[in-house]
Chain A
Amino acid sequence: MPTIEPATNAAVDPADFISALHAEGNLPQNAGGDPAVPDSCFIDTHIYQQPTV
């Protein structure tokens, strides 16, 4: 029977990355992909200002 190697684990925990971004106030709180696109989740923790005029 051949030995099956386990899959390689990611070197970075994405949760740490997201936490760091939140701390810097740079990105919304959703996980991956294009973090700039506003997410309808988490609206309670990230409020965009609406135009007044």
Chain B
Amino acid sequence: MKSLSRMTFGLASALFASTAISNVAHAEDLTLCWAAWDPANALVELSKDFTKETGIGMKFEFVPWTNYADRFLNELNSKGKLCDLIIGDSQWIGGSAENGHYVKLNDFFDKEGISMSDFVDATVVGYSQWPKNTPNYWSLPAFGDVVGWTYRKDWFANPDIQAAFKEKYGRDLAVPATFAELKDIAEFFQKREIDGKTVYGASIYTERGSEGVTMGVMDVLYSYGFKYENPDKPYEMEGFVNSENSVKGLEFYKSLYDCCTPPGSSNSYMGEGIDAFKSGQVAMHMNFAFTWPGLQKDEAVGGDKVGFFANPAGPNGDKFAQLGGQGISVVAYSERQDAALKYIKWFATADVQKKWWSLGGFSCLKAVVEDPGFAASQPYAQTFLDSMAIVKDFWAEPSYASLLQASQKRFHDYVVAGNGTAKEALDGLVADWTEVFEDDGKM
């Protein structure tokens, strides 16, 4: 009886101890919040090394892009403790900094010797700084992304198609150098029969609900001369947002939508674009760089069949591209900030960043992207570098959501629904944005 009691006591103690140990381990686990997409899977793989090195477990909360902003902005606004680390969209930086959602990282960077000059400049401005162009850092650049183009290299190389193109346009079918050339190519392919199938010119962003049509339109407008504000007088938008060149850019985007997209493309964003390209429907495809590794590996349209190019130039030779991507931040409401900062320190190291790139993550560390072997490391690496060199980003003000919704409405109304003129759309946008900045007391 005595031995039975001892055994019972021993078992109970062991059970208690193991539960306590596992609770200690779980208490240290970090939760990282991001969008549910291919790079997130690469990050899960990468983070296993962090757990191996530090013993800190990693949990992940990934939300599809369509709900990503809603879900995580709600979480931050309600001071939720779900996320210890968050890879938030570049436009959130102003609001998250001003509303105290993110931990300011300047002291931490100084203490750990992490220098922002080691990262690609555009990504530091885009993902980390608020106010912009000031040395106030709220994130570590985590995933570089930019809008660019993929095209059907095999179709472009087809002798019959090349001959037909040359006959019609008097020049070789090649990667477009200007947006005007891009439209010619798109028109040429629109409703063309290739391998017994009707194909279309290009897939472009037209989505209404979140940010799609704005990302697409801006990608073109920048190269046509659009500016958000008077460089000498912040928030003065009249004559910059709705300049003559901006109007021409918006008209161009609408004409591209009208002439050269597949049927049913009125609400198309990243996922729809990938589907259109993978199913062999389109000759060219506008999308963020994160899609390129997946398309390169695709059995049907990848390998030698796919090519990549950066945004072509506008009518005056200007070349810009819409910045995507995100920085990684420590959430101010987290109870495990020390462990979260350990993760950032680990993530910033060159070896981890190299592995990040090899797994499909677009590193922002100069040591990685300026490595002599980088450009040849993947078929899309050079296009990524070319595109990152010409980036511009949307407003990152605390009111970015209102500013974005205004542009979504104005652009979709004009480009997709065909209401009014480009000038009216941009004049309306100036009025909407002015109202937002007036409400914020900035004008």
Instruction: Specify whether A and B are partners.
Output: no
B residues in contact (CB < 8 Å) with A:
none
A residues in contact (CB < 8 Å) with B:
none
